[in-house]
Amino acid sequence: MRTTISVIKADIGSLAGHHVVHPDTMAAASKVLAEAKAQGILIDYYITHVGDDLQLIMTHTRGELDPKVHETAWNAFKKAAEVARDLGLYAAGQDLLSDSFSGNIRGLGPGVAEMEIEERVSEPIAIFMADKTEPGAFNLPLYKMFADPFNTPGLVIDPTMHNGFKFEVLDVYEGEAVTLTAPQELYDLLALIGTPARYVIRRIYRNDDNLLAAVVAIERLNLIAGKYVGKDDPVTIVRLQHGLPALGEALEAFSFPHLVPGWMRGSHYGPLMPVSQRDARATRFDGPPRLVGLGFNVKNGKLVGPSDLFDDPAFDEARRLANVIADYMRRHGPFMPHRLEPTEMEYTTLPLIQEKLRPRFKKEADMYKTKESIYTKGKSSGETHD
């Protein structure tokens, strides 16, 4: 049986600002998914949240981009947004960029990660969900999982992993993708994914047999809407074990809280902090950017689990370091490198301020003419200027 795992997320409104999903909105979404399960559209589902993002984890046999499944998710988000409006929650329906469903949820605002797989005898997976950042935030940890032997010793000692993996990389500005093979094209791969705001890992396949190993939600909300409407808050699905990274190797990739763009107003770099489900809420400076990991086994489409993967003292040091980095970055205030580079700030509200100031700018030559005119006028009247 080929099983499809679909993880679809959206910010449909949150409590006390961009903070946390309200349980009533999750309950509204759950009713829609329960009905879809009763109708045979879904096999199973699990609903959770990370910060202000409602996360729908669904299994079915309908394949990727299925209209019925996507419509189910859309209806769940719409119902949840209605509850959010009734409760007066902040930014109700923020990620729903259209009033109507048109057969596919892509391009309508919500983030989508889907993979259709042939289940192995045991099918362990990890689903990583981030808040207050964008899809490129997964570039470094996915590189570590599938290409860095210092993180994943299975690349060296496991014969079923030794030939490496293929990375499908998307240029989110041009809408073009390239597939690069590791380890053979490792430097070419790094040349691209080291610029995560533009080049995003979309899918990873095992070289030996093209087995799909990981998939990332690559939606960039600002590129869809043409303006800043919130960060993309991506998700990734990673298959584990049996010729793929072990669970511990996948988790090890998040032991270093690397800097990611997003955080306050989507305009600042901050550390990606791995947290438990209970700590998955935005607080300090609307962050720091949070990451939750849930572990499942999939059997005949049924979700067994989850396990809260970062609810463990082994990640206390990563969280402590994230707080130290957050302190350091915050001391820069509105200055780079805490604030994003100009190309990324184009999609925030900063251009409105710049546009207001535009009429007050003068060309350098005109400024000199003005100074010369003042000097000449003063000289003719007998005034002196230092």
Q: Which residues are catalytic?
A: 11, 228, 231
366 belongs to an annotated ligand binding site: no
90 belongs to an annotated ligand binding site: yes
- Asked if residues 246 and 147 have their Cβ atoms less than 8 Å apart, the reply is no
Max intra-chain CA distance, the chain: 96
55 belongs to an annotated ligand binding site: no
11 belongs to an annotated ligand binding site: yes
99 belongs to an annotated ligand binding site: no
232 belongs to an annotated ligand binding site: yes
Q: Which helix (H) or strand (E) segment is 176 a member of? A: strand 176-182
The span from the CA of 94 to the CA of 374, in Å, is: 53
Task: Return phi, psi of residue 31, to 5°.
Answer: -60, -40
163 belongs to an annotated ligand binding site: no
The span from the CA of 115 to the CA of 6, in Å, is: 7
Residue partners of 186: CB distance under 8 A and separation at least 6: 147
385 belongs to an annotated ligand binding site: no
347 belongs to an annotated ligand binding site: yes
131 belongs to an annotated ligand binding site: yes
13 belongs to an annotated ligand binding site: no
What 307-315 contacts at long range (C-beta under 8 Å, 24+ apart), as own/partner pairs, is 308/276, 308/277, 309/126, 309/247, 309/251, 310/251, 310/254, 310/274, 310/275, 310/276, 311/276, 311/277, 311/278, 315/254, 315/255, 315/274
Task: Summarize the annotated binding site for beta-D-fructose 1,6-bisphosphate as residue ranges.
Answer: 18, 90, 103-104, 132, 241-242, 265, 286, 347
Binding-site residues for Mg(2+) sit at 11, 18, 52-53, 94, 131, 231-233
Residues making up the binding site for dihydroxyacetone phosphate: 18, 132, 265, 286
Binding-site residues = 11, 18, 52-53, 90, 94, 103-104, 131-132, 231-233, 241-242, 265, 286, 347
